[in-house]
Structure 1
Amino acid sequence: MMDGRPRRQVAATMASAAQDWLELLSAEQRAIAVGQMPSDSSMDLERRRWFYTPIDHGGLTFHQQRPAQQRGAMRLVAAGLSRPGYVTVATTIGLENVLDHTEGFVELFGRERGRDPGLYYLRVFGDPAPSGTWGWRFGGHHVSLNNLVVDGELVSTTPCFMGADPASSELLGGAVNRPLARVEDVARELVCSLHPDLARRAILSPRAPSDFVTGNRTTITLGDRAMSDATAAHEESYGSVLEYTAQPKGIPAIDLDPSQRDLLRSLLGTYFGRVPDLVAPAYDDTALGALHFAWAGPTGLGAPHYYRVQGPHLLIEWDNTQSDANHAHSVWRDPENDFGLDVLRAHRQRHH
């Protein structure tokens, strides 16, 4: 049985940060910042909305908070992340200014400013009591963090989304800002290391979808395909090849040699390493062997591409296809228990 103490420790840190943030808010702010207690019923649908586009994610924005309140909000965000995860999220928020510059400071999306680092939203669901059941969500353009605590234990951290636009941008002295560099490069190193026979099985399509196959759907369903219109135009040629299926596609990890398995472990680390070390999943050889790795698109640098890793309670998706392959998305999901629905269902059955 998994030791729940680390998950209780992280949950306690989250609860303390959430309580401190809420105490800084006015009654008007709290009305926006606090949502319904988590459950597995239809009353919980707001908590299960999630996006990675620049629209209203629900909650209190940075613009609606004073500086001390903003700092309290970021303390809660940090409680759900490792140090590298926090730095990546903070960098992604800052990239809104870079993207605005790239686009000539013209995008509005019906707002006063379209690319806006102040439009990141935080909402707490329920009462963050130390031993209670509650959750929180933080999101905005290219960030979506979803956490659930049940009876004082952190039970779900998915969906966990991080993106970057631009995925690569210039720094002084010839340096390059690539917040998700290893998330992309390790997977490419893995697919390029494959023997031709394995590569033919791993590469599902010569063309990548223009976004995730599962998109930002609340529930992953068999047959899911990429939701964008750009992909739909090519559905006949490769849509069914890439659609989500219960049987993972690509190659199983048991077919990889030891060095390739090490690469797969490193790739998993770029997703699991987003959360605090105490609660990051650990994969032994047996669990690793149950995973499958698949790729779509060319394998060369700078080409639009997509990959996924799938196994029991795990789906990882990545795409870097838009904006001439300089606009990256990455997500870690649990198809069986996103948003902690299975745990909430079991909790209701025990207590009612």
Structure 2
Amino acid sequence: MINSSIIVLVIMGLFSFHTHSQGDHALRFLRSLDEGQKQKVLLEFGDQSRDRWHYLPGASWPREGLQLLEMEQAQQELFFDLLRYSLSEAGYGKTRKILELEAILSEIENSPDYRHPGKYFVTFYGNPEKDDPWAWSFEGHHLSLNFTVLGGTISMAPRFMGANPATIRSGPKKGDRVLAAEEDLAYRLLEELQPSQRRIAVFRESPFSDILSRNEPGTAPLEPAGIRMKELDAGQQEILSDLIYEYISVMPETLAVKRMERLREEDFGEIMFGWA
């Protein structure tokens, strides 16, 4: 029984969005900050840290920006309003649950200083009131969300969401799984494959120690591995399509639907599902 997986599926890419509205949400948050907080959170668009992203805990990876724990409650609420506007309901829910997992890890590991849901950093590159382009990020353990705004276009990349623990084993939220849909759809597709298809899809018998692209500021095309969409039957294609959409659906629904339509118009049959 193969029980570990790695899935590389979707690049979020560029999409049109109500950038003025996102800018308005950003400005409401920024205007709530005092001067000391603004000095931490506002950097030049060209600052080198904009390309230095990671999904390690805040104590393990030096970051610029303002931590949640450095904000007052009202300021946090204004930031989360921006985040809620920028993501789908599902994407926002997953993000908040990833933060909650840090508190659970803190209890499991007895490491309140290392594991802390307040040690997630908010950083702005450029000023949304006057600059074009500008960008912002929200980042910490198992989470990296990056938005770059240029005119009426936004790039939501890179994006990383992870979960540790994958399944909560005890306590009031026992059994909860933040990334349950992604995992379940991938396993379901693997189980639906015929032996000949599985031999193509499973390209490695042991999992990788990390995501293949790591935290590089740029990525090169990966070596082709796995089974192509066009090599699947209709039912299998539907599962893979649902899996792809699960990743895309972190962005607001209307944009996710458009992104999926664009994928279908391109070389949809060449998308590959690989398992290690």
TM-score range, shorter chain: 0.7 to 0.9
Q: Following the alignment from structure 2 to structure 1, what is the Cα–Cα distance between the partners of residues 85 and 118?
A: 20
Q: Following the alignment from structure 2 to structure 1, what is the Cα–Cα distance between the partners of residues 226 and 186?
A: 13
> Which residue identity does 2:127 align to in structure 1?
D
What pairs with 1:181-200 in structure 2 (closer than 5 Å)? 181-200=180-199
Deviation at 1:121, TM superposition (A): 0.6
Q: Following the alignment from structure 2 to structure 1, what is the Cα–Cα distance between the partners of residues 265 and 153?
A: 27
Percent identical among aligned pairs is 31
SS at match of 2:203: strand
* C-alpha contact 2:202 2:274 (8 A) present in aligned 1: yes
CA RMSD of aligned residues (A): 2.0
**Does 1:123 find its partner at 2:123?**
yes
Deviation at 1:173, TM superposition (A): 8.4
The equivalent residue for 2:44 is 36
Q: Following the alignment from structure 2 to structure 1, what is the Cα–Cα distance between the partners of residues 67 and 208?
A: 32
Q: Following the alignment from structure 2 to structure 1, what is the Cα–Cα distance between the partners of residues 141 and 243?
A: 23
Q: Following the alignment from structure 1 to structure 2, what is the Cα–Cα distance between the partners of residues 174 and 80?
A: 27
Q: Following the alignment from structure 1 to structure 2, what is the Cα–Cα distance between the partners of residues 192 and 285?
A: 28
| Alignment match of 1:53 (pick from 52, 56, 62) | 56
Deviation at 1:130, TM superposition (A): 8.5
Q: Which has the higher strand share?
A: 1
* C-alpha contact 1:122 1:139 (8 A) present in aligned 2: yes
The equivalent residue for 1:303 is none
Unaligned runs of 5+ in 2: 1-14
Structure 1 length normalisation: TM-score?
A: 0.68
* Shift in CA distance, 218/131, structure 1 to aligned 2, threshold 3 Å: closer
Q: Which has the higher contact order (CA 8 A, sep 6+)?
A: 2
Q: Following the alignment from structure 2 to structure 1, what is the Cα–Cα distance between the partners of residues 66 and 73?
A: 13
Q: Following the alignment from structure 1 to structure 2, what is the Cα–Cα distance between the partners of residues 46 and 177?
A: 34
Number of residue-to-residue matches in the alignment = 255
Deviation at 1:79, TM superposition (A): 2.0
* Shift in CA distance, 20/188, structure 1 to aligned 2, threshold 3 Å: same
* C-alpha contact 1:91 1:179 (8 A) present in aligned 2: yes
> Which residue identity does 2:188 align to in structure 1?
E
Q: Following the alignment from structure 1 to structure 2, what is the Cα–Cα distance between the partners of residues 186 and 63?
A: 35
* C-alpha contact 2:47 2:125 (8 A) present in aligned 1: no
- After TM superposition, which residue ranges in structure 1, 4 or more long, deviate above 3 angstroms? 129-132, 170-175
Q: Following the alignment from structure 1 to structure 2, what is the Cα–Cα distance between the partners of residues 35 and 76?
A: 18
Q: Following the alignment from structure 2 to structure 1, what is the Cα–Cα distance between the partners of residues 131 and 70?
A: 29
* C-alpha contact 1:95 1:165 (8 A) present in aligned 2: yes
What pairs with 1:113-262 in structure 2 (closer than 5 Å)? 113-129=113-129, 132-154=132-154, 156-170=155-169, 176-221=175-220, 244-245=222-223, 248-262=224-238
* C-alpha contact 1:51 1:57 (8 A) present in aligned 2: no
Unaligned runs of 5+ in 1: 1-5, 38-42, 223-243, 297-352
SS at match of 1:157: strand
SS at match of 1:148: strand
